[in-house]
Structure 1
């Protein structure tokens, strides 16, 4: 279940504003787990939203993060906590983690409540058909639980570079 804090106009929270509160089921390298924003307080983390596990762009993005995870460090040397969020169920996330040997946690936002809270559940168009889905986006949350940086319409192959630049600004 997701608890939401949404800005008045439904858009993404601004840099410096409190990040939406959440608690989601997911899968990490050690198996199923529940992750909450409350438990993450005191440590910066990256919350990245992706449309669907095991698709080409999402696989590129996840594997690039996996391959560069050791380099993603917050000022002071601590490794960055990375959390991927999609509307996929836990079973699909488990298959994705296993197949790609991912070393970070993926969260299931099946009711897209967290995506809505971040303003990334949007109307999309593909082959002339409109539907609702996740806009690939990334949010860096600081140790106090505030949005430190964000990027909408992330390009999978350039995501890690943006994360490194955003971390340098913390």
Structure 2
């Protein structure tokens, strides 16, 4: 699988997407804050649920570090609402149904499963600094302890 074409240190591509409450969330409006922007394949699947629950569990720790958590998938707003209610999530989920933001962040790529190739979301996380630059990229993420690793990285970068 190819690696993400974005690089650490470069300006994060701008985005404006609707959240689960149909409010538009734009990256430029979060200037001055750290942003954890994570892309995941699908609401209500095991790995995506675990990742969202882990970020929810650590939300107060991220907020204490001045960071906002944004999860992005191509699921609809309605799907996000069901996912949040069913799994009692406390984070903001953004809907990118046309995958335009996925493509800007180079996470909409060819994947292989059982010998079949298809386009899909490569689970990825971007830590964006208060100046709007990509501070860290995690590509092809494994969910186990990922949220903790992101928090540790954030804390070490702030020191």
Please confirm whether the aligned pair reaches a TM-score higher than 0.5, indicating the same fold. yes
**Residues 94-125 of structure 1, C-alpha deviation per residue, up to 9 Å, x if partnerless?**
11111111111101111111111111111111
Equivalent in the alignment of 2:6: 13
After superposition, the CA RMSD in angstroms is 1.6
**Residues 41-72 of structure 1, C-alpha deviation per residue, up to 9 Å, x if partnerless?**
11111000000010000001000111121222
TM-score normalised by length of structure 2? 0.91
Q: Could you tell me which of 23, 47, 58 is aligned with 2:16?
A: 23
Is 1:107 equivalent to 2:94 in the alignment?
Answer: yes
Matched residue of 2:23: which SS? strand
Matched residue of 1:94: which SS? helix
- Could you tell me how far apart the structure 2 residues matched to 1:38 and 1:164 are? 22
Given that 1:12 and 1:120 are in contact with CA atoms closer than 8 Å, whether structure 2 keeps it comes out as no
Equivalent in the alignment of 1:96: 83
Matched residue of 2:19: which SS? strand
Equivalent in the alignment of 1:58: 48
**Residues 67-104 of structure 1, C-alpha deviation per residue, up to 9 Å, x if partnerless?**
1212225xxx4442000000111111111111111111
Q: Could you tell me which of 140, 143, 146 is aligned with 1:159?
A: 146
Matched residue of 2:57: which SS? helix
- Could you tell me how far apart the structure 2 residues matched to 1:79 and 1:103 are? 16
Any runs of at least 4 consecutive aligned residues in structure 1 with deviations exceeding 3 A, and if so which?
A: none
Q: What are the ranges of 5 or more consecutive residues in structure 2 without an aligned counterpart?
A: none
| Number of residues of Structure 1 aligned to a counterpart in Structure 2 | 155
Q: What are the ranges of 5 or more consecutive residues in structure 1 without an aligned counterpart?
A: 1-9
Counterparts of residues 98-137 of structure 1 (less than 5 Å):
98-137=85-124
Equivalent in the alignment of 1:3: none
TM-score normalised by length of structure 1? 0.85
- Could you tell me how far apart the structure 2 residues matched to 1:92 and 1:61 are? 17
